A and B are shown apart, each in its own frame.
Chain A
């Protein structure tokens, strides 16, 4: 069967086509197998999935269609707790999965999603996560990719937040040959808020393509997007981050910040930090800084006996681990640290 062509990650507001950032087109093999999904504790799998049709995501309709027949799992979180779900995909498998998460009013939870493969594994994993957060609930969802460098990951997440709900997302995107990741947060309820952290490490000819969208609907909603990454060798990255203040979102604040460390000779970085606004009484800020190692810092570390290669590794490691610590799970942080060190030395 011929590969499917999927149009992914289209920006809510397009710009000049010659920049090639409005979206991306990829070829992907049809689903031909399943991932091995393992939850670390027993979970209630009794969610009415039809409620999640209203949860939008931002990877696009092509991807939603692609995963629509994927294996469905759900988490109906009715009490405080932490859950870890591991997706393991085997060689030459192209799998699709859907995870539906509902967090009841007033409940605080953490969910860790880990994507793993064996070494030298080819194939792909397409995972769509849809979340509904009740009033006064809190969810931190960490998505960690520790897959082989020949593997492709497509990770799409959509959230609706009710009044005073808080959503936190930490994404650690390591390994893989091509990673496509999208996030969409709908701050529907008044005083709802979110924080989204992303770190990536680009090596050899890796490709990263991201599309983050946060829509402010409710009053006094707040959003934060922090993106940090390293691009080395010939890796390429596109990050589109949209903060959209809708009419009625008075008193809301949105902040977006991206730092990109460019190390390699043939790297390509594309950054599109967008703010859209139809509400007067808001504050929106974005900032980006892109460039090489700071000369002063480089000199300082060299004077301490480190060569340039060691410095690159040190700084790359520190970027990844500082984000990993946000997960607040020692076992997972150790997994990440081990993986990144192997990747850097590999």
Chain B
């Protein structure tokens, strides 16, 4: 019992820092045409973007809520502010960022990571980017890494207009439509053909405001033969009211190009995370997803890949950890359109202390995707009987010229495994933590070291006090 008490006092201060909101501009709660127009005015939108927002609002109003998945009854848009602007413009030098915001990102390790191991960083605080910078040598390669709003008014405006919410249209689902209406912040990345970006770019999203939403848009275009690793991180302090994250990520992977998109999601446990991520891959291109989901109260998260060109491929490596008060519905989707396309998905999910973890997937192989191959491996670990773990995969195969393999298993930590580690000197808690870390190792080994360490820390935090 003492261990459990200790868990409640455990130090999460680096994630739970709340900065004062008194100097922020905050739009009134709710969702109306006036609010959407106000956001559009704040963003100094072009006419087409303003019209796009209004049409998206219309779609949002007409789209019904779905009747599957975790309940989002606790999310009331009338009590969410869709736009909160910190009292600063975007900077490209950390020293110019307001002290409290800078301190927050310092504690989260973002500036240090940028210095040590990143080619560029975008840091978003509430609804706006507060920092954006890219290393000179990467810029000299012709790589564009900019906040998306500046890019909408620059030389890449037409490129963005051509791609913006085409892969994820507002009609996709209700919260895609919401995103289309109130989106703010986010990044645009363009990697020219045959450019290899050796070290990763990163965006970090921090939602400080209480009862607010974050709706950033990430658009990445990787040209023919180019190569990029993009890392995304997020967190927020915990409040006793709902917050909402309905971001959107659209990825275009060109012919023979390669994109790796890594995410460590650590939203606070009052967050409704209704994020949409989608990639389209052309001939010979390769898309790699690495995903660790540890936060949020409710999550709906299914990165999707369309393998459009022949010989295109996708891998997905993911881990989800659902603890007390969490209902995380995560998974992956793939559509094979081209011949000889390949997809490989490996996921791990862990549920404990009443957490609910659902793995949901779809594999669609269309008629013209002859010679395609797919494999899915999904393992679920339940750490107690208060929790829940569900696996809901679907395969929709429309050609005989393919190979599809699927395996899934669910179970608990084996007593023999715990016994073995305890016989080697570990306490029971340490033994269970090691087993869970090993179980999630499929993701941590794919991440750069600093992020793998963060992920392991998150597992440790969750596992403390799991005995007794």
B174 to chain A, nearest CB (A): 13
Q: Does B73 contact A (CB under 8 A)?
A: no
Question: In the complex the two chains form, is A280's CB within 8 Å of B406's CB?
Answer: no
Question: In the complex the two chains form, is A273's CB within 8 Å of B404's CB?
Answer: no
B371 to chain A, nearest CB (A): 10
Question: In the complex the two chains form, is B411's CB within 8 Å of A262's CB?
Answer: no
Question: In the complex the two chains form, is A19's CB within 8 Å of B362's CB?
Answer: yes
**B interface, over-half SS:** strand
Q: Does B111 contact A (CB under 8 A)?
A: no
Stretch touching chain B among A133-141, A156-164, A281-289: A281-289
B68 to chain A, nearest CB (A): 4
User: Given the complex of chains A and B, what is the CA–CA distance between A265 and B403 in angstroms?
Assistant: 15
What is the 8 Å Cβ interface bit string for chain B, positions 397-431, against chain A (1 contact, 0 not)?
11111111111111110000000000000000000
Question: In the complex the two chains form, is A280's CB within 8 Å of B387's CB?
Answer: yes
Chain B residues whose C-beta falls within 8 Å of the C-beta of A281 in the assembled complex: 385, 412
> Which of A277, A282, A286 has most chain B Cβ within 10 Å?
A277
Chain A residues whose C-beta falls within 8 Å of the C-beta of B101 in the assembled complex: none
Instruction: Please provide the chain A residues from 5 to 35 with a CB less than 8 Å away from any CB of chain B in the complex.
Output: 13-17, 19, 21-22
User: Given the complex of chains A and B, what is the CA–CA distance between A271 and B408 in angstroms?
Assistant: 14
Stretch touching chain A among B142-150, B280-288, B376-384, B435-443: B376-384
Q: Does A341 contact B (CB under 8 A)?
A: no
Instruction: Please provide the chain A residues from 223 to 279 with a CB less than 8 Å away from any CB of chain B in the complex.
Output: 231, 245, 247, 250, 260, 262-279
User: Given the complex of chains A and B, what is the CA–CA distance between A13 and B411 in angstroms?
Assistant: 20
Chain B residues whose C-beta falls within 8 Å of the C-beta of A306 in the assembled complex: none
Question: In the complex the two chains form, is B68's CB within 8 Å of A291's CB?
Answer: no
With both beta carbons as reference points, the residue of chain B lying nearest to A272 in the complex is identified as: B394
Question: In the complex the two chains form, is A285's CB within 8 Å of B407's CB?
Answer: yes
With both beta carbons as reference points, the residue of chain A lying nearest to B373 in the complex is identified as: A291
Question: In the complex the two chains form, is B392's CB within 8 Å of A274's CB?
Answer: yes
B114 to chain A, nearest CB (A): 38
Chain B residues whose C-beta falls within 8 Å of the C-beta of A13 in the assembled complex: 68, 390, 392
With both beta carbons as reference points, the residue of chain A lying nearest to B383 in the complex is identified as: A280
Q: In the complex, which of the residues B360, B362, B380, B404 contacts A288, with contact meaning CB atoms closer than 8 Å?
A: B404
Question: In the complex the two chains form, is B392's CB within 8 Å of A272's CB?
Answer: yes
> Which of A247, A275, A286 has most chain B Cβ within 10 Å?
A275
Known: A19-B362, A272-B394, A281-B412. A288 touches B400 (CB 8 A): no
Q: Does B34 contact A (CB under 8 A)?
A: no
Chain B residues whose C-beta falls within 8 Å of the C-beta of A274 in the assembled complex: 390-393
User: Given the complex of chains A and B, what is the CA–CA distance between A289 and B404 in angstroms?
Assistant: 6
Known: A280-B412, A290-B395. A273 touches B406 (CB 8 A): yes
Question: In the complex the two chains form, is A282's CB within 8 Å of B395's CB?
Answer: no
Chain A residues whose C-beta falls within 8 Å of the C-beta of B398 in the assembled complex: 267-269
Q: Does B137 contact A (CB under 8 A)?
A: no
With both beta carbons as reference points, the residue of chain B lying nearest to A258 in the complex is identified as: B406
With both beta carbons as reference points, the residue of chain A lying nearest to B357 in the complex is identified as: A277
Chain B residues whose C-beta falls within 8 Å of the C-beta of A54 in the assembled complex: none
Question: In the complex the two chains form, is B400's CB within 8 Å of A276's CB?
Answer: no
With both beta carbons as reference points, the residue of chain A lying nearest to B405 in the complex is identified as: A289
Known: A265-B400, A280-B412. A272 touches B393 (CB 8 A): yes
A294 to chain B, nearest CB (A): 9
Total contacting residues, chain B, CB less than 8 A: 38
Q: Does B67 contact A (CB under 8 A)?
A: yes
Chain A residues whose C-beta falls within 8 Å of the C-beta of B360 in the assembled complex: 15-16
Q: Does A38 contact B (CB under 8 A)?
A: no
Chain A residues whose C-beta falls within 8 Å of the C-beta of B235 in the assembled complex: none
Question: In the complex the two chains form, is B408's CB within 8 Å of A291's CB?
Answer: no
Name the interface size band of chain A. 35 or more
Q: Does A44 contact B (CB under 8 A)?
A: no
Q: In the complex, which of the residues A245, A265, A267, A270 contacts B394, with contact meaning CB atoms closer than 8 Å?
A: A270
Question: In the complex the two chains form, is A19's CB within 8 Å of B396's CB?
Answer: yes
A178 to chain B, nearest CB (A): 19
Q: Does B308 contact A (CB under 8 A)?
A: no
Chain A residues whose C-beta falls within 8 Å of the C-beta of B394 in the assembled complex: 15-16, 19, 21, 270-272
Instruction: Please provide the chain A residues from 43 to 83 with a CB less than 8 Å away from any CB of chain B in the complex.
Output: none
With both beta carbons as reference points, the residue of chain A lying nearest to B356 in the complex is identified as: A278
Question: In the complex the two chains form, is B385's CB within 8 Å of A270's CB?
Answer: no
Q: In the complex, which of the residues B401, B405, B410 contacts A275, with contact meaning CB atoms closer than 8 Å?
A: B410
Q: Does B258 contact A (CB under 8 A)?
A: no
Q: Does B388 contact A (CB under 8 A)?
A: yes
Q: Does B389 contact A (CB under 8 A)?
A: yes
Question: In the complex the two chains form, is B396's CB within 8 Å of A270's CB?
Answer: yes
Known: A15-B68, A274-B391, A276-B390. A284 touches B396 (CB 8 A): no
User: Given the complex of chains A and B, what is the CA–CA distance between A19 and B388 in angstroms?
Assistant: 24
With both beta carbons as reference points, the residue of chain B lying nearest to A254 in the complex is identified as: B410
User: Given the complex of chains A and B, what is the CA–CA distance between A260 and B406 in angstroms?
Assistant: 12
Question: In the complex the two chains form, is A284's CB within 8 Å of B400's CB?
Answer: no
What is the 8 Å Cβ interface bit string for chain B, positions 163-203, against chain A (1 contact, 0 not)?
00000000000000000000000000000000000000000
User: Given the complex of chains A and B, what is the CA–CA distance between A207 and B407 in angstroms?
Assistant: 26
With both beta carbons as reference points, the residue of chain B lying nearest to A265 in the complex is identified as: B400
User: Given the complex of chains A and B, what is the CA–CA distance between A283 and B390 in angstroms?
Assistant: 13
User: Given the complex of chains A and B, what is the CA–CA distance between A200 and B383 in angstroms?
Assistant: 39
Known: A13-B390, A277-B389. A292 touches B395 (CB 8 A): no
Chain B residues whose C-beta falls within 8 Å of the C-beta of A279 in the assembled complex: 382, 385
Q: In the complex, which of the residues B391, B402, B410 contacts A292, with contact meaning CB atoms closer than 8 Å?
A: B402
User: Given the complex of chains A and B, what is the CA–CA distance between A274 and B403 in angstroms?
Assistant: 20
Question: In the complex the two chains form, is A284's CB within 8 Å of B411's CB?
Answer: yes
Chain B residues whose C-beta falls within 8 Å of the C-beta of A291 in the assembled complex: 400, 402-404
Q: In the complex, which of the residues A17, A283, A288, A292 contacts B406, with contact meaning CB atoms closer than 8 Å?
A: A288
Instruction: Please provide the chain B residues from 55 to 102 with a CB less than 8 Å away from any CB of chain A in the complex.
Output: 66-68
Question: In the complex the two chains form, is A14's CB within 8 Å of B390's CB?
Answer: no
Question: In the complex the two chains form, is B408's CB within 8 Å of A275's CB?
Answer: yes
Chain B residues whose C-beta falls within 8 Å of the C-beta of A265 in the assembled complex: 400
Question: In the complex the two chains form, is A275's CB within 8 Å of B407's CB?
Answer: no
User: Given the complex of chains A and B, what is the CA–CA distance between A21 and B362 in angstroms?
Assistant: 11
> Which of B360, B403, B404 has most chain A Cβ within 10 Å?
B404
Question: In the complex the two chains form, is B68's CB within 8 Å of A287's CB?
Answer: no
Question: In the complex the two chains form, is A247's CB within 8 Å of B385's CB?
Answer: yes
Question: In the complex the two chains form, is B408's CB within 8 Å of A273's CB?
Answer: yes
User: Given the complex of chains A and B, what is the CA–CA distance between A274 and B394 in angstroms?
Assistant: 9
B407 to chain A, nearest CB (A): 5
Question: In the complex the two chains form, is B400's CB within 8 Å of A277's CB?
Answer: no
With both beta carbons as reference points, the residue of chain A lying nearest to B360 in the complex is identified as: A15
A343 to chain B, nearest CB (A): 19
Question: In the complex the two chains form, is A273's CB within 8 Å of B393's CB?
Answer: yes
Please give me the 5 A-B residue pairs with the lowest Cβ-Cβ distance, nearest first: A262-B400, A14-B68, A290-B404, A284-B410, A291-B403
15 A–B contacts from the bound complex (CB under 8 Å): A14-B67, A247-B385, A262-B402, A264-B400, A269-B395, A271-B394, A272-B394, A274-B393, A275-B390, A280-B383, A283-B410, A284-B408, A284-B411, A289-B403, A290-B403
Residue numbers of A with Cβ under 8 A of B are: 13-17, 19, 21-22, 231, 245, 247, 250, 260, 262-292
Question: 19 extra interchain contacts, Cβ-Cβ under 8 A, other than A19-B396, A269-B395?
Answer: A16-B394, A262-B399, A262-B400, A265-B400, A270-B396, A272-B393, A272-B394, A274-B390, A277-B390, A280-B384, A283-B410, A284-B409, A285-B409, A285-B410, A286-B406, A286-B407, A288-B404, A288-B406, A288-B407
